[in-house]
Structure 1
Amino acid sequence: MTTPPAPPPAPEWEPEHEVTAEAAAALVGARFPGLAGAPVEALATGWDNTVFLVGGEWAFRFPRRRIAVPGVEREIAVLPAIAPRLPLPIPVPCFTAGPSEEFPWPFWGARMIPGRELAEVRPPDEDRTALAAQVGAFLRALHDPALAAEAGDGLPHDPMRRADPAVRAARTYPRLDALAGLGVRERDGAVMDLLAEARHRDAPAGGPVLVHGDLHVRHLLLAPDGRAAGVIDWGDLCLADPAADLSIAYAGFAGPARAALLAAYGPVPPGREAAARVLAVNLSATLAEWAASTGRAALLSEALAGLDRAVAD
């Protein structure tokens, strides 16, 4: 008797608990009576959270996987404290709910930050200079050691090893293989050279700062004029080397735009730059795999461009 083949493993982004708009309306209405009956519509979906717009004004964030719960708890605890210190809007939880019989995990709502993801807008690289300068100034404020001292108590130290180039390089090879298997992109020499060199690098030796932890092209919102509107999705907020956020300088910007970001941010030592470039490749490859697997054409194009930017001067 022939044994049937084992089913393929579920994708990493497969939800453990899917919240529909109807379920979100019921949960929000039950916990926050002032919002009962307000219209609810899907706003965004990621690996770890689903976001709904409630009453045309409030963005409610529901975990999709248990692994996201500690990040949700950190967002609730830390974002209100750091928001006044940052030069761009970030979500500030105004409605918070703990686990219940109806939903096993905490969730929260904040006033929606109007804007579109950089990955959706995809402005030409030459039109990103003003945006890049804003991002540099934002990261300079976020990475102020004083902010970490004030708001970082109890935060984990780089739990995803985002700033460790050897770890990130090792985790990138399967992503590149997946892209080749999907017929999206073959391995190329510049990317492979960067990863090979990174396997022998130590993590940067600087002191940890407060970092967003997952700052990529989906989490930077743009206003209609192309300038920055806000920074969202803080579930990976932690203490880490600044390289964990500076990856956006290499995945999202090139040429004069990248120079403007780094001028606004300040000096970046070579070891930190190398770690940031490796993370830029890793995040871009991960986003590209997800986009190709789920039919997100704009994100796929932006993520593939990010691979090229990450290895460009």
Structure 2
Amino acid sequence: MTSDDPGSAPGGPGGVPGRPRAPEWEAEHEVLEAEAAELVGTRFPDLRGAPVRSLATGWDNTVHLVGERWVFRFPRRAVALPGVEREIAVLPVLAPRLPLALPVPDRVGRPSGAYPWPFWGAELIAGEELAEAELDGAARVRAATGIGAFLRALHDPDLARELAGRPGCVLPVDPMRRADPRVRAPMARERLARLAERGGWTPDPAVERLLAEGEQAGPPPGPAVVCHGDLHLRHLLVGPDGEATGVIDWGDLCLADPAVDLSLAYAGFDGRARTALLAAYGRPLGPERELAARVLAVFLCAVLADYAGSTGRARLLAASLTGLRRAVAR
């Protein structure tokens, strides 16, 4: 979800007048299975002839599983390319320092006459997206505890200082202002209005109150830390028992306020599970950070619901609408 400004899509402000605005997730270049097999086999001869099957599709990448072991990500849009380069440079540094698995780009394909953009492959991480998992209460507590401990390690100020001193690991600072509720609240309201027009959302006074409060608030104080940058319901992987197994899709990796990642505490969890996440995180949030995290949770769930409703993903739609309700739950 690299470009989440609705005006950045063709046909929006700056687009082609008179034409319908194309969805932000529309691919500029989609690599299907046959092309993926050719690109991977040419670049990595030991994988030539290995079976290839489609694994997932997101806004920015088409993902294929090669040889039942290697997950290859192929960019769909040019706007994602800086994030791809950050993943290639930084994920190998982060992975050994964090308690959950990260996709490590062990196999990197560079632009060529056959494909104009970089792509990369990492070993498959077991688990399914939190949005797709049907977890009972105990399993959800287990997942929340795992991601809370993970975020505590990721947000360690020492990690930010270490990356700052390594060549190639300089990160942008909250480039999309996701920690600023004054920016995210009106964007969330626009997405929710779009959902309501299609009949996918009934306006909720509690959500409206939260967004109105966010529009009057500034970003939380405090130093920026290393953040995943786009930590929503699709990017936490869990096992059947709820154990958190990995965190994927790091194209929005940046320095930002911890609220940017802690939005998952409000979109993905409530009740005992949220309490367990924040306890494992172990650092106080404060009212400004909590507000920023809740507003961002509403925005991300609204975007996911818009995407899911437009692309026929019923389970993701249901999870996203549930996330909207969780974001305002106390």
TM-score category, normalised to shorter length:
over 0.9
Q: Partners in 2 of 1:312 and 1:221 — Cα distance?
A: 23
Aligned to 1:310: 327
Q: Partners in 1 of 2:45 and 2:85 — Cα distance?
A: 22
Q: 1:228 aligns with which of 244, 256, 263?
A: 244
Question: Is residue 277 from structure 1 mapped to residue 294 from structure 2 by the alignment?
Answer: yes
The alpha-carbon distance between structure 1 residues 175 and 126, as it changes in their structure 2 partners (threshold 3 A), is farther
Where does 1:230-245 land on structure 2 (aligned, <5 Å)?
A: 230-245=246-261
Question: Is residue 166 from structure 1 mapped to residue 178 from structure 2 by the alignment?
Answer: no
Q: 1:34 aligns with which of 21, 25, 46?
A: 46
Q: Partners in 2 of 1:48 and 1:183 — Cα distance?
A: 27
Equivalent position SS for 2:170? coil
Question: Is residue 71 from structure 1 mapped to residue 83 from structure 2 by the alignment?
Answer: yes
Question: Is residue 289 from structure 1 mapped to residue 306 from structure 2 by the alignment?
Answer: yes
Question: Is residue 101 from structure 1 mapped to residue 113 from structure 2 by the alignment?
Answer: yes
If the length of structure 2 is used for normalisation, what is the TM-score?
0.92
Q: Partners in 1 of 2:224 and 2:134 — Cα distance?
A: 32
Cα RMSD for the two superposed structures: 1.2
Where does 1:90-129 land on structure 2 (aligned, <5 Å)?
A: 90-125=102-137, 127-129=139-141
Where does 1:174-253 land on structure 2 (aligned, <5 Å)?
A: 174-253=190-269
Where does 1:244-263 land on structure 2 (aligned, <5 Å)?
A: 244-263=260-279
| Contact persistence 1:122–1:302 (CA under 8 A) | no
Q: Partners in 2 of 1:80 and 1:214 — Cα distance?
A: 19
Residue type of the partner of 1:261? L
Aligned to 1:134: 146
Q: Partners in 2 of 1:178 and 1:46 — Cα distance?
A: 20
| Contact persistence 1:125–1:254 (CA under 8 A) | no
Aligned to 2:7: none
Q: Partners in 1 of 2:127 and 2:48 — Cα distance?
A: 26
Q: Partners in 2 of 1:82 and 1:8 — Cα distance?
A: 41
Q: Partners in 1 of 2:306 and 2:138 — Cα distance?
A: 26
Residue 135 of structure 1: how far off its partner (Å): 0.8
Residue type of the partner of 1:295? G
Residue type of the partner of 2:325? D
| Contact persistence 1:213–1:238 (CA under 8 A) | yes
Residue 284 of structure 1: how far off its partner (Å): 0.4
Aligned to 2:5: none
Residue type of the partner of 2:236? L
Residue 126 of structure 1: how far off its partner (Å): 5.6
Q: Partners in 2 of 1:11 and 1:268 — Cα distance?
A: 35
Q: Partners in 2 of 1:249 and 1:149 — Cα distance?
A: 25
If the length of structure 1 is used for normalisation, what is the TM-score?
0.96
| Contact persistence 1:91–1:111 (CA under 8 A) | yes
| Contact persistence 1:182–1:292 (CA under 8 A) | no
Residue type of the partner of 1:212? H
Aligned to 1:56: 68
Residue by residue over 1:140-163, the C-alpha shift from the partner in whole angstroms, topping out at 9 and shown as x without a partner, is 000001111112442100111111
Residue type of the partner of 2:298? V
Residue by residue over 1:255-288, the C-alpha shift from the partner in whole angstroms, topping out at 9 and shown as x without a partner, is 1110000011021111111100000000000000
Residue type of the partner of 1:227? E
Residue 127 of structure 1: how far off its partner (Å): 3.8
Residue by residue over 1:153-179, the C-alpha shift from the partner in whole angstroms, topping out at 9 and shown as x without a partner, is 421001111111110112111100111
Residue by residue over 1:85-113, the C-alpha shift from the partner in whole angstroms, topping out at 9 and shown as x without a partner, is 10011101100111111111111000010
Residue by residue over 1:118-153, the C-alpha shift from the partner in whole angstroms, topping out at 9 and shown as x without a partner, is 111132456411111111100000000111111244
Alignment length (residue pairs): 309
Aligned to 2:37: 25
Residue type of the partner of 2:173? H
| Contact persistence 2:236–2:244 (CA under 8 A) | yes
Residue type of the partner of 1:53? L
Q: Partners in 2 of 1:139 and 1:123 — Cα distance?
A: 21
Aligned to 2:97: 85
Residue type of the partner of 1:301? A
Q: Partners in 1 of 2:134 and 2:253 — Cα distance?
A: 25
Q: Partners in 1 of 2:262 and 2:307 — Cα distance?
A: 22
Aligned to 1:298: 315
Q: Percent identity?
A: 64
Runs of 5+ consecutive residues of structure 1 not aligned to the other structure: none
